[in-house]
Amino acid sequence: MRLAGARRPGARERPRAGRRRSRLGRRRGGRAQGRVSAGGTGRPVLPSAARLFPPPPRQSRNEACGSPVTEFPPLSRGPVAGLRTEEIGFAGLGDLALAESPGARAEVLARTILAVFDDYYDRFRAMAPLAKAAFETRDWPRTVALSAERLSIYSVSIAILAPLLHAAVPELGRESGFWAKVEAHYLGLIEGRYEADLAFAFLTSIRRKVFEDEWRPVAYSYPAGRPGPAAVRRETLARFAADMPVPAEIARQILSVPAFGAEWRDRAGDERLLAEAIGRAAAGIEPGCRTVRVEMARCGFFRNRGAYLLGRITTPSGRSAPLLVALLNPPSGLHVDAVLTDSDELQFVFSTTLANFNVTCPYYHELAAFLFELMPKRPVGVHYSSIGYNHLGKIAVMNEIVGEQRRTGERLGTAVGFRGTVAIGFSMPSSRYVMKIIRDRPSDGYKWGAFPGVEKVLDKYRLVHEIDRAGSMLDNIIYYRVKLDRRAFAPELLDELLAEGGSTVSLLGSEVVFRHLVVQVKLVPLPVFLETASPEAARLAVLNLGDCIKNNAAANIFNKDLDGRNYGVNPIGKVYLFDYDAVEPLTSVKVRTNTDREEGEEGIPDWYFEEGTVFLPEEMLPGLRIDDPELRRLFRTAHADLLTVAYWEGLQRALASGKVPRVRSYPEARRLARPDAAAA
């Protein structure tokens, strides 16, 4: 971590944790240089000149619809309401007493695990219709609760069942061949099911938990006995065809796909506007085309206060554009808010930096494949995660990384950019991912006093995975007990991993075993990006950096290490925070100013001695590592509010009172132009 707003490492004093008001604790030389302090800082602060009622937080430039940001959740998860796993686990295991042979016991165990999986999967699937109903009835707290429950239900089921199995089936730990028997029975039981791969992944998760075993990607081929891909695809996508100009009738059919049970504000008007938008997109990809085909996923995508319909527009020459219809349901009624037809814009709506979608379609492979066709710049594994199949996404991502390595023969080496003091980042040159581990101890240059330990840092990464990342923080996939081929590592990296992360990394024959491994999508670290970017791209990145900081804040996430090195730029120019060891709830931060100063003890401001994180917004700019004076000016002008106490305190008040700012996920310009738009 680095100090927010800090100069280059070494250029300023490191704040000490827990500094108190004391003559011994004061700094010499007048002005303290601390922008954000993990411990205390101190010097007098005059009553702030901040306005009592600051303007509401500005909406981010790169976003535009309506998804409320959830509040900062506690680190520990509560039980999932109504989960029957424990009940089922006990009931199933009762039959073990009757089963005498190892084969019979293995079968009972396989059936028990499958019953728990079925319970989990039933509940998981029930959540999408519930999310749809919550959207229709505007039950927003329910929507947020469902989204949180959906994220945790898989791991909670496993966490409950694994110790039960351990206690009830002692031979699990003793007899090495017993698990193979369980697996063989289980495979027989799930054969032919559509969700067999998910069921199998569930078994391996249980196995990993029971054995505290190393983790290995589940390579499970499509099981036979369920509809083949073509048949399923026909069921997954609805198809429409029309002559140009596109008639409103086509739009009517598209809007009927999820059969919304809510009152429309002006359905006929929406049908007309949607048809026009489709026609414009078709003409855009093939000027003068006479006909158009539209394929729509036969489901609704629900997230926070929004619902989305997803499809593709194809012209006679075979050119195509994605189609995303964004709907809102405010008290004035259900309506189409925006229509998007650009892949990069869709990519942002489907970003895993936002909450997952609840999707009313069970065919997750076909949906993930369709999403990949529409947004090919994102790895396919990430598409599974964006529709809530995080575990399959996790497997797909690991398979992709292993596949990338086999295909390119590249080796894992230290990631491009600054070496972290807390983490070691590594990747392959053409990989789409970065992996990292947390060091046993921070390296020189660590600025935050006592190191809280590897687990506490991982907790922060887990926390960010579990919240709505407000379109501004990368998701983290955390693997436990994963092993990778030793030959994939550059020797210097391997030496560093073993030396600096010995409690996490070890060698096991030809494998490197990790107790934890964080994987994120690879970005270009901001300072590296700015070194080579065109002036236009650099300007956009600097503007997006400000938006990113604002969206972090709207999610109640404050990165006290406000240093440009912790932010990265993706292929479509968006900026995200990727380093989480210095994140804190914004509501716990003390926002202070240097400009208004009370007479304090020997000219030292009171905040210098305050406990906790003290943040001086006016001093944040130097730390962002925007070296070009023109770009710095641009940031200062476009994001002047970020440099004020009023902005941050206003946001803190909004968060504290539950008035959580909305995060928008598509550009304002894509909203449908209506005569009543101002009123909406």
Instruction: Please list the active-site residues.
Output: 475
Which of 298, 565, 592, 625 contacts ligand ATP by CB under 6 A? 565
Task: Tell me the C-alpha distance between 257 and 309, whole Å.
Answer: 8
Q: Is 421 one of the binding residues for ligand ATP (CB under 6 A)? A: yes
| CA dist., res. 320 & res. 314, Å (int) | 4
Q: What residues from 391 to 420 belong to the interface with ligand ATP (CB under 6 A)?
A: 415-418, 420
- Smallest CA-to-CA distance from 116 within 149, 90, 96 is with 90
Name which of 186 and 615 has its Cβ closer to ligand ATP: 615
Q: Which of 109, 190, 218, 422 binds ligand ATP (CB under 6 A)?
A: 422
User: Is the Cβ of residue 347 or residue 421 nearer to ligand ATP in the bound state?
Assistant: 421
Is the Cα dihedral 568, 571, 575, 578 positive or negative? negative
Query: Are the CB atoms for 507 and 513 separated by under 8 Å?
Result: yes
Peptide bond into 245 cis (omega under 30): yes
Residues 345 and 313: their CA atoms lie apart, in Å, by: 15
Query: How would you list the strands of the sheet with 36-37, edge to edge?
Result: 36-37, 614-615, 590-591
Which residue from 300, 525, 527, 600 is in contact with ligand ATP, where contact means CB under 6 A? 525
Among 19, 43, 394, 522, contact with ligand ATP (rule: CB under 6 A): 522
3-state helix, strand and coil shares in percent for the chain, rounded to the nearest 5: 45, 15, 40
Tell me the closest approach of the beta carbon of residue 9 to ligand ATP, in angstroms.
9
Nearer to ligand ATP, 581 or 606 (CB): 581
Distance of closest approach, residue 625 Cβ to ligand ATP, in angstroms: 11
The yes or no reply on residue 469 touching ligand ATP (CB under 6 A) is no
Residue 38: CB minimum distance to ligand ATP, A: 12
Q: Which residues 646-665 are close enough to bind ligand ATP by CB under 6 A?
A: none
Q: Which stretch binds ligand ATP (CB under 6 A): 145-153, 247-255, 386-394, 517-525?
A: 517-525
Residue 533 vs 651, nearer CB to ligand ATP: 533
Give the C-alpha distances (Å, rounded to integers) separating 204 from 32, 89, 113, 326, 542: 54, 17, 11, 37, 44
Pick the binder of ligand ATP from 423, 555, 577, 589 (CB under 6 A): 423
**Strand 36-37 and strand 614-615: pairing?**
antiparallel
Considering only residues 568 through 607, tell me which ones interact with ligand ATP, judged by CB under 6 A. Answer: 568, 578-579, 581
Q: Toward ligand ATP, which CB reaches closer, 504 or 566? A: 566
Q: Min. distance of Cβ 562 from ligand ATP in angstroms?
A: 11
Using CB under 6 A as the binding rule, the residues of this chain from 127 to 146 that contact ligand ATP are none
Residues in contact with 51: Cβ distance below 8 Å, sequence separation at least 6, in sequence order: 646
Q: What are the DSSP E strand ranges found in 472-613?
A: 477-485, 505-508, 511-521, 524-525, 557-559, 567-569, 575-577, 583-585, 590-591
Least distance (Å) from ligand ATP to the CB of residue 22? Answer: 29
Stretch that binds ligand ATP, among 38-46, 143-151, 518-526, 639-647 (CB under 6 A): 518-526
Interface with ligand ATP, residue 564, by CB under 6 A: no
Structure tokens at 559: 């990165």
**475 phi, psi to nearest 5 deg:** -75, 155
CB 573 within 8 A of CB 544: yes
Minimum distance from CB of 420 to ligand ATP (Å)? Answer: 2
| Among candidate residues 567, 562, 556, 581, the one with its CA nearest the CA of residue 455 | 581
Choose, by CB under 6 A, the member of 320, 566, 570, 644 that binds ligand ATP: 566
Binding mask 543-562 toward ligand ATP (x if CB under 6 A, else -) reads ------------------x-
Q: How far, CA to CA in Å, does 266 sit from each of 250, 263, 335, 339, 426? A: 16, 9, 7, 16, 52
Residues in Cβ contact with 525 at an 8 Å cutoff, skipping those fewer than 6 apart: 416, 417, 418, 565, 567, 568
337 touches ligand ATP (CB under 6 A) = no
CB nearer ligand ATP, residue 391 or residue 432 = 432
What is the distance between the alpha carbons of residues 166 and 185, in angstroms, rounded to a whole number?
19
Q: Which residues of the shown chain bind ligand ATP in the complex (CB under 6 A)?
A: 1-2, 415-418, 420-423, 425, 434, 436, 474, 520, 522-523, 525, 561, 565-566, 568, 578-579, 581
